[in-house]
């Protein structure tokens, strides 16, 4: 029971932090210098992230199994942290010495501010999805949040110069009607 409460608190805190960062305005850059290639580890991390998202889609379509999505939330957050530590995406700026520096500096995007805003949107989307799953939201709401997260992740790949995994990112199948 304590673990469940701790997970809810952690997801709520992450959601609030991500919301604060995404609500601030991030100026766009007018010059776009050539972006260096992302580190080699990024392709594998993006592929793992896509695989977890595909599992989440599979858990909700065609028959929703919300319980199967729960462990994927933590996996997605761990993969996002790994992408930051590998230098694939920027980590949110923090005041020293409260947090350690990432292992590598982010150098992948032509517009690092846009990439950071996109990454924070992904973190917020994952946290929102986690809050809905742990909060007992219905499958329709969780499916809606997952669909928005998938779109955000697709946008982030382009803004951060990350490689698209083989077969592309997963998508929600069209609604049966």
> Mapped to the 3 state alphabet, what secondary structure does 107-152 carry?
CCCCCHHHHHHHHHHHHHHHHHHHHHHHCCCCHHHHHHHHHHHHHH
What pTM value is reported for the model?
0.73
In a domain, 95, yes or no: yes
pLDDT of residue 73: 96
Give how many domains the chain has, as a whole number. 1
Direct distance between the N- and C-terminal alpha carbons of the chain, in angstroms, rounded to an integer: 40
Structural domain including 124 reads: 14-19+38-160
In a domain, 27, yes or no: no
In a domain, 121, yes or no: yes
In a domain, 26, yes or no: no
In a domain, 76, yes or no: yes
CB 132 within 8 A of CB 114: no
In a domain, 173, yes or no: no
In a domain, 167, yes or no: no
Per-10-residue mean pLDDT, the chain, length 177: 50 43 41 58 95 95 90 96 93 73 60 91 96 92 95 95 92 73
Instruction: Look at the alpha carbons of 87, 74, 120, 32 in this order and tell me if their dihedral is positive or negative.
Output: positive
């Amino acid at each position: 029971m304590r673990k469940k409460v701790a997970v809810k608190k952690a997801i709520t805190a992450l959601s609030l932090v991500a919301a604060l960062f995404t609500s601030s305005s991030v100026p766009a850059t007018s010059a776009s210098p050539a972006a260096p290639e992302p580190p080699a580890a990024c392709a594998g991390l993006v592929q793992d992230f896509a695989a977890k998202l595909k599992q989440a889609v599979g858990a909700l379509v065609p028959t929703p199994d919300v319980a199967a999505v729960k462990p994927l939330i933590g996996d997605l957050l761990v993969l996002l942290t790994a992408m930051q530590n590998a230098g694939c995406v920027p980590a949110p700026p923090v005041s020293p010495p409260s947090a350690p520096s990432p292992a590598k500096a982010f150098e992948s995007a032509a517009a690092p501010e846009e990439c950071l805003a996109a990454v924070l949107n992904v973190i917020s989307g994952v946290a929102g999805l986690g809050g809905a799953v742990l909060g007992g939201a219905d499958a329709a709401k969780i499916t809606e949040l997952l669909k928005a997260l998938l779109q955000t992740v697709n946008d982030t790949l382009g803004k951060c110069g990350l490689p698209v995994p083989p077969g592309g990112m997963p998508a929600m199948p069209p609604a049966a009607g």
